Chains A and B, each alone.
Chain A
Amino acid sequence: MAIDQAPTTVAASFEALYRTSADAVYAYAASLLRDRSAAEEVTAAAFERAFRKQRSFDPRRGTQRAWLFGIARNAALDELRRRKRSAELSVEPADDEAAPEGEAEAAERRAAVRAALAALHPRERELIALKFHAGLSNAEIADVLGVSASNAGTRVHRALVRLREACHAPS
């Protein structure tokens, strides 16, 4: 059931949601799609759909961020289906040419993390994005994925284990 709110309140609420979530939504879409232009399209489409449907948001069914990421997920999966492509890395590589002295170790670690992320299964990469980039709680992730909170926790833990293993794997 939608909550009746004044238009100005609704607009302000959406504005705040956009300001706090735009980067996370883009990061999530890009992690899922591994395509910058597709991620931009999905991000724009997700916010536009959320804007059009903002009156249908029901706080009793979850947080606003979980609702927004649910929309973004559907848009991303639709895009994935449309393009018939999944895990091609086109994300711009991080600039690790000029690593200052003392940061070489950090740069090396980040390169390992980048490689580990690329090696993850899309489902695990999605969970990492939702947890690390978007900062969603397990309950919110459960709402986004349509599973129980404990199941979401189990999945997040499994993805974390896989990420750690991939980070420590010999390159």
Chain B
Amino acid sequence: MRRHEPTLDPAVAAELEALEAALAGHPAAEPELAALVRDVRAEAPAMAPDFRARLDRRVERGFERPLPRRRFASLRPMIPALAVAGCVLAALVAVVLSAGGGSNDSASSAGGTAAPLAAREQSSDSAKGSGASGSAGTASSGSALAAPAPSAPARQRRVERSTRLDLTTTDVQAASDGVVRATQATGGFVQSSQVSTGDGRSTASFVLRVPTSRLDDALARLSRLGHVKSVQQSADDITNVYNGASTRLAEARAERRGLLRALAKATTAAQITSLRARIADNRRALQRDQRELDAVRNRANYATIGLELTGVARKHATVPSGGPWTPGDAAHDAARVLEVSAGVALIALAVLVPLSLVGAAGGFAAVAVRRRRREAALSS
């Protein structure tokens, strides 16, 4: 659509009309103007006959010699589409890379899903072979992986392991049932539990005891019951405690054997009474030392898992990977795909729009410069 054009001056328009009449050979045209038209036309440069003949032949043959075509000229119409595809691809790569970086971050932080935890399990298993150090202490999830484990030099080192696991789930009750099943499946037991469900936030707390040798298996099973919000592991070297209790028990037994031998040799009633009193004291010491040793052995053989389950709304929860794939899961996945697609499109737009603006500005500038240069040729 053309802009509104200013009208010509009436005098100018009249003269132009007269010129048009003269050019058209109208009988009523101004004689002077008609003569000028004739004279100017008579002065029109005429083609040389040989050039005319050559040009006629070229036209008849359809300009056989093609103009030198630019390479990839056929691809020019596809340039916008190729640019869009390139930007989308770059955005996709950026999204994938950023997503990969995010999962690495979550693996090293407190939060994470079952997959990072499985990675920790492998690290933990491999760390077992390194043996236990003499010091004991509590460590976060990262340092806990390198904590001493009691397996290799089992007779020399005794290690008490404990884990704190925080999960979020959309169904606390179902997850609680899963906790019990997972604990029993690994040969452990629920030491204590507290489940709170209501209109508000549902929570559940568990203290689980599982065989230390099955701790990693138990953690893997438990972490599949929800989204792992945080996990903390600690290892406490109780070798000295164990050895002390064991030594005291051995000493008490030795003392009992000595007292029994002395009782067998006793001849007087007073000796016998005194020895029996000491034997009774020794029996109580033996029982106490045995209980102490059993307790220490239990601490080493059974790991403690403190588990906290927190109920969350559906949109904040991660679908447990172990359950069946339901229509709800499909809807969630579809929404996620749409989110990612929208993100990719947004990034592509963010790249494409400035590039297009710069390209368009460059194109307009190039056309304007070329036009100006051409016009300048007439001015010189």
Residues of A participating in the B interface, judged by any CB pair closer than 8 Å: 11, 14-15, 18, 22-23, 26-27, 30-32, 36, 39-40, 43-44, 47-49, 51-52, 74, 77-78, 80-81, 84, 86, 91, 94, 106, 109-110, 113-114, 117, 122-123, 126, 128-129, 131-133, 135, 138, 146, 148-151, 153-154, 156-157, 160, 163-164, 167
Contacts and interface: CB of A to CB of B under 8 A. Distances in A.
Given A30-B45, A113-B40, A132-B40, A77 B63 contact: no
B377 A81 contact: yes
Contacts of B7: 150
A13 B40 CA distance: 29
B269 interface: no
B interface secondary structure, majority? helix
B46 interface: yes
Given A31-B45, A133-B41, A157-B15, A86 B377 contact: yes
Contacts of B16: 138, 153, 156-157
B55 A27 contact: no
Nearest to A27: B44
A110 B377 contact: no
A18 B378 contact: no
Contacts of B374: 74, 77-78, 81
Interface stretch (B31-39, B110-118, B142-150, B193-201): B31-39
Given A77-B375, A77-B377, A131-B23, A47 B45 contact: no
B43 interface: yes
A54 to B, nearest CB: 11
Given A47-B55, A48-B58, A160-B19, 14 more contacts: A11-B62, A22-B52, A36-B45, A39-B45, A77-B374, A78-B374, A80-B378, A84-B380, A122-B379, A132-B40, A132-B44, A148-B3, A154-B8, A157-B12
Contacts of A31: 44-45
Contacts of A84: 380
Contacts of A81: 373-374, 376-377
B47 interface: yes
B55 A44 contact: yes
Residue picked from A39, A47, A49, A153, most chain B C-beta under 10 Å? A153
Contacts of B3: 148
B51 interface: yes
Contacts of B6: 150
B264 interface: no
Contact of A113 (B19, B36, B48, B52): B36
Interface in B328-380: 371, 373-380
B39 A27 contact: no
Contacts of A148: 2-3, 5
A27 B46 CA distance: 6
B64 to A, nearest CB: 10
Contacts of B66: 52
Nearest to B19: A160
Contacts of A51: 59, 62-63
B42 interface: yes
Contact of B8 (A18, A26, A131, A153): A153
Contacts of A39: 45
Contact of A18 (B23, B47, B59, B380): B59
A15 B48 CA distance: 20
B43 A150 contact: no
B24 to A, nearest CB: 9
Contacts of A135: 23
Nearest to A45: B67
Given A81-B373, A86-B380, A122-B378, A163 B40 contact: yes
A22 B375 contact: no
Nearest to A14: B59
A91 B47 CA distance: 11
Contacts of A131: 19, 23
A128 B251 CA distance: 129
B13 interface: yes
Contacts of A49: 67
A52 B17 CA distance: 37
Given A51-B63, A77-B374, A81-B373, A154 B12 contact: yes
Contacts of B5: 148-151
Contacts of A44: 55, 58
Interface string B60-73: 00110011000000
Contacts of B37: 132
B43 A22 contact: no
A40 B51 contact: yes
Contacts of A26: 45-47
A18 B109 CA distance: 78
A131 B33 CA distance: 13
